[in-house]
């Protein structure tokens, strides 16, 4: 379907913006951490807002920003940090709020500025939510009492006194300040993109040409460049490996397996703690906290790393003691500390359980397989995007120019995000299937694996009677079509041919993610009027159109080439005529 192809293209664009956002977290996050700059989180949030704003000016499409936030949040999952749930939720919510601002005020600069302001307010909302989750309603009561003490002790009055009069007025003032900061960050993204990024819409692939020239120059240079390329490939493989472990986890011997029961029990436990508030008896609550902490440390590897983070627990103890003093009850401080420990381990454990492959399959049903396909591409592209980033000091010195430079490369990364497409064209009976069979055979001789299928013609007295579908990887066959039903379960009739369920089922299996794992060359024989009508192999082509690292080979009749290109955005597809010499066609295919 054309809508599915457009949605896949939108996900690919979101993957580029989300990867650039993730790269900024990696490049600038480590730099800011090393120089111990205060408000590091707020600074990274502002930079992220500027990036997605500039990206939205390049591709002003509805739904781009929340998808970019979701991609960036998922990429955060491979961080070695023991606490991932909070940062992942924060990044996803920033993307959602930025997108919400655009939906309210339109896909324009006013909407972008409003959305940027909303996204920035999540930085403070997230902190408040964390404190509320950890300490409950006593947290707001302790802040309110502290504000009252400050107001009386220092005799605040006027506007300042009004801001400090209660916790809600202080929160409103903080929200306003953060909103203005987010709006300013969004304005920076707009200003940075006004010159260079919009030109990219007309220039097209200039960035790709420049990058290719740079790569050629580097190839002719020193061995250091070649080493860095090897290192970049190693980084990419490591990222994809860590991604695969995170989302397609297979426990090793001795490791604990996932449990949906544990996931639901722990979610129910959190809901119980919320509903109980601070009414739970102190001693049983402390005993529950100790028992649950021991269970998490025994069962979850991430919890074992978490318990060693003494800085986290020291801050919990100090915060709980201070709030206990403010509230005038040390028992309240002990209760708050126990609650903070329990909730911290609970969210760490739930974060681990959410990587269950069953949860992944549920997410695939919600978002479609395209989400994980684009996510895999994002991890693959991340090292190259990081390499294209200016040095951190240069970014700090010239942020607008640096942002323009990074976003200007997005069209190149978009082109690289989809599969390479080859169309084998010709009239009916011109030899398209014969060329496909020869190409599959040639690939196997060259040590390459081929997937997908081709359709063998069935002839009777010089007339084509139907087709048999043959898998390219294992040779499995099934009847695909014929001039009569012949006892088959028919799912479609086109022209004189009945199309059989057995053939379609085998074809769909041959094009599944499991069947194509590790396979670069994917054949579909053929794509034509049925697919243009959203039937046949249309959904499979739409899914593959968002898959990076593949070479998608379609047999297409000459009369359908233009429409196939338009429907799936295959404008840059390489065309090979059915009459092309096999060796020449094979070289074109391998070099694609």
Q: What share of the chain is helix, strand, coil (3-state, %, to 5)?
A: 70, 10, 20
Measured from the Cβ of residue 483, the count of other Cβ atoms closer than 10 Å reads 15
Classify domain 419-591 at the CATH superfamily level.
Answer: P-loop containing nucleotide triphosphate hydrolases (3.40.50.300)
Domain range list for the chain: 2-209+356-416, 260-353, 419-591
Look at residue 472 in the predicted model and tell me its pLDDT: 94
User: Which secondary structure element, helix H or strand E, spans residue 17, and what is its range?
Assistant: helix 2-34
Q: Rounded distance, CA 298 to CA 484, Å? A: 64
Q: Rounded distance, CA 307 to CA 442, Å? A: 56
The parts of the chain modelled with pLDDT lower than 50 are 1, 80-82, 159, 196-233, 235-236, 240, 242-255
166: number of CA atoms within 13 Å, CB side?
3
Q: Rounded distance, CA 385 to CA 19, Å? A: 7
Residue 274 to residues 366, 466, 494: CA-CA distances in angstroms? Answer: 28, 65, 60
Look at residue 221 in the predicted model and tell me its pLDDT: 38
pLDDT in tens, 545-582: 867 678 999 999 999 999 999 888 888 889 999 989 99
- Per the listing, tokens 């990419």 go with 236
Sheet holding 450-460, edge to edge: 490-494, 497-500, 477-482, 463-471, 450-460, 521-525, 551-557, 420-426, 574-577
Indicate left, alpha or beta for 206 from its phi (over 0: left) and psi (-120 to 50: alpha): alpha
Q: Rounded distance, CA 193 to CA 405, Å? A: 9
Look at residue 23 in the predicted model and tell me its pLDDT: 81
Measured from the Cβ of residue 476, the count of other Cβ atoms closer than 10 Å reads 13
Rg (CA), the chain: 29
CA dihedral 293, 295, 299, 302 (to 10 degrees): 0
Look at residue 145 in the predicted model and tell me its pLDDT: 66
**DSSP bridge partners of 426:** 557
Give per-residue burial for 93-117: e unless 16+ CB within 10 Å, then b.
Answer: bbbbbbbbbbeeeebebebbbbbbb
Q: Rounded distance, CA 491 to CA 498, Å? A: 8
Look at residue 436 in the predicted model and tell me its pLDDT: 94
The three-state secondary structure class of 221 is coil
Query: What residues contact residue 15 under an 8 Å CB cut-off, 6+ apart?
Result: 68, 71, 374, 375, 377, 378, 381, 417
Look at residue 28 in the predicted model and tell me its pLDDT: 72
The three-state secondary structure class of 237 is helix
Q: Rounded distance, CA 338 to CA 359, Å? A: 30
Look at residue 222 in the predicted model and tell me its pLDDT: 34
């Amino acid at each position: 379907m054309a809508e599915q192809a457009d949605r896949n293209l939108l996900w690919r664009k979101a993957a580029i913006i989300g990867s650039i956002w993730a790269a900024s977290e990696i490049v600038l996050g480590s730099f800011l951490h090393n120089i111990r700059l205060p408000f590091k989180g707020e600074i990274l949030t502002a930079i992220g807002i500027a990036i997605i704003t500039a990206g939205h000016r390049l591709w002003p499409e509805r739904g781009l920003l929340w998808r970019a936030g979701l991609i960036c949040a998922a990429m955060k999952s491979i961080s070695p940090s023991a606490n991932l749930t909070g940062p992942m939720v924060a990044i996803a919510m920033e993307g959602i709020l930025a997108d919400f601002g655009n939906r309210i005020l339109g896909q324009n600069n006013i909407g972008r500025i409003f959305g940027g302001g909303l996204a920035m307010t999540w930085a403070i909302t997230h902190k408040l939510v964390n404190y509320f989750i950890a300490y409950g309603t006593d947290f707001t009561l302790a802040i309110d009492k502290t504000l009252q003490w400050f107001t009386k002790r220092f005799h605040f009055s006027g506007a300042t006194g009004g801001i400090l009069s209660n916790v809600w007025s202080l929160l409103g003032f903080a929200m306003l300040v953060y909103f203005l900061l987010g709006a300013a960050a969004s304005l920076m993204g707009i200003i940075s993109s006004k010159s260079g990024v919009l030109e990219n819409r007309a220039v097209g692939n200039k960035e790709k040409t420049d990058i290719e020239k740079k790569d050629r120059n580097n190839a002719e240079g020193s061995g250091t460049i070649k080493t860095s390329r090897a290192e970049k490939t190693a980084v990419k493989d490591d990222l994809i490996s860590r991604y695969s472990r995170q989302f397609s986890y297979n426990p090793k011997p001795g490791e604990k397996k996932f449990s949906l029961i544990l996931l639901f029990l722990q979610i129910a436990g959190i809901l119980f703690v919320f509903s109980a508030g601070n009414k739970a008896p102190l001693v049983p609550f402390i005993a529950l906290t100790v028992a649950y902490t021991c269970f998490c440390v025994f069962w979850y590897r991430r919890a074992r790393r978490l318990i060693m983070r003494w800085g986290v627990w020291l801050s919990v103890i100090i915060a709980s003691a201070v709030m206990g003093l403010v509230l005038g009850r040390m028992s309240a401080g002990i209760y708050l500390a126990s609650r903070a420990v329990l909730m911290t381990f609970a969210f760490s454990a739930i974060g681990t359980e959410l990587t269950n492959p069953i949860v992944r399959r549920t997410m695939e049903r919600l978002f479609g397989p395209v989400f994980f396909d684009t996510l895999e591409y994002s991890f693959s592209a991340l090292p190259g995007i990081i390499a294209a980033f200016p040095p951190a000091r240069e970014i700090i010195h010239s942020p607008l120019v640096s942002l323009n430079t990074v976003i200007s490369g997005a069209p190149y990364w978009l082109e690289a995000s989809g599969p390479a497409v080859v169309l084998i064209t010709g009239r009916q009976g011109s030899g398209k299937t014969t060329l496909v069979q020869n190409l599959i055979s040639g690939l196997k001789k060259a040590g390459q694996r081929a997937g997908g299928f081709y359709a063998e013609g069935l002839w009777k007295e010089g007339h084509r009677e139907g087709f048999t579908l043959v898998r390219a990887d294992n040779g499995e066959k099934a009847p695909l079509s014929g001039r009569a039903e012949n006892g088959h379960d028919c799912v479609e009739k086109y022209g004189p041919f009945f199309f059989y369920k057995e053939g379609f089922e085998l074809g769909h299996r041959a094009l599944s993610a499991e069947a194509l794992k590790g396979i670069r060359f994917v054949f579909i024989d053929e794509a034509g009027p049925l697919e243009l009508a959203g039937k046949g192999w249309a959904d499979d082509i739409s899914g593959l159109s968002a898959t990076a690292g593949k070479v998608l080979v379609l047999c297409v009749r000459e009369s359908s080439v233009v429409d196939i290109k338009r429907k799936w955005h295959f404008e840059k597809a390489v065309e090979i005529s059915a009459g092309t010499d096999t060796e020449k066609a094979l070289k074109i295919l391998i070099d694609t």
